[in-house]
Amino acid sequence: MTSPTGAARAAQDSTAFRVTARVGYVVLGILHILIGAIAISIATGGGGDADQGGALAAIEQTPAGVFLLWAIVVGLAALAIWQIAEVFLERDPDTKKKWGHRLKYAGTAAAYIAIAVTALVYALGGRSDSAESSQSFSAQLLATPGGVILLVLVGLIVAGIGIAFIVRGITKAFEKNLDLPEGKARQGILTFGLIGYIAKGVAIGVAGVLFIVAAFTSDPESAGGLDAALRALADLPFGPIILWIVGAGLIIYGLFCFARARYAKM
């Protein structure tokens, strides 16, 4: 228990902690379903912010909104800690793969923490604008020496993450992290994962492209978060149809997260 590895192993051996981490997948699913629904609303002429902030604002308006927001904070914090524990417990004999896995776990933990912090802001009565944050971040980078190169690098990293999601979906690489039942249930969950990962990858990839556009045009307002990326899809030829499909895919990813809560190897 005195070493990071011992603490990580003790955390993962805790039944209560494991259950809380599984709740994290449930609330993650709820967020993706809401984001997907808002994206479909935009595609059909409606409004809303199709990102974590928009989903959290929608949750806040429900009768049990504050309770749900705190559940999101706790669940995603537990998931983040679980991923951090995996960093210390990774034992792949291949050094390159081991550090690759560790970077993935650390990045995933950072993403969960970011959403948990945003949920905490809403739970405490505050507000958060991801598009404004992305634009401010882009403006600060562009104002630094070599800012254009740095912003392009950020865009490439984000786009790379999107591509990784798409590849993970197409290859069904996520299956190795699940203990699935046999039969139609297994096939259904794998299909949901395939569709969901691709849809999320497309959305993240477009967000990365927007950072690159902001760098080359020296216009930080071109950058944005998930909402800006989804709205950019709507501006393409047949954009509303594309956005509707991606929104439906995000909803399917949310449903996959529910199955992941039940079948994830933990």
| Token pair recorded at residue 134 | 């992305």
Write down the residue that tokens 């509707």 correspond to.
Answer: 244
Euclidean distance between CA atoms 80 and 103, whole angstroms: 13
- Lowest-confidence segment of 27-41, 49-63, 177-191 by average pLDDT: 49-63
Q: What angle do CA 242, 248, 253 make, to 5 degrees?
A: 125
pLDDT band for position 52 (50/70/90)? confident
Euclidean distance between CA atoms 178 and 29, whole angstroms: 16
Number of domains in the chain: 1
pTM equals 0.85
Q: Is 264 helix (H, G, I), strand (E, B) or coil?
A: strand
Helix (H) or strand (E) holding 133: helix 130-142
Which pLDDT value is given to residue 129? 66
Q: What angle do CA 153, 157, 158 make, to 5 degrees?
A: 120
Quote the domain boundaries for residue 258. Answer: 4-263
Q: Residues of the chain with pLDDT > 70: what percent?
A: 94
Judged against a pLDDT cut of 60, whether residue 1 lies above it is answered with no
Long-range contacts of 64-68 (CB under 8 A, 24+ apart): 66/123, 68/27, 68/30
CA distance from start to end of the chain: 19
Q: Residues of the chain with pLDDT > 90: what percent?
A: 27
Residues near 127 by beta carbon (within 8 Å), at least 6 away in sequence = 53, 57, 121
Euclidean distance between CA atoms 69 and 17, whole angstroms: 19
Which pLDDT value is given to residue 261? 93
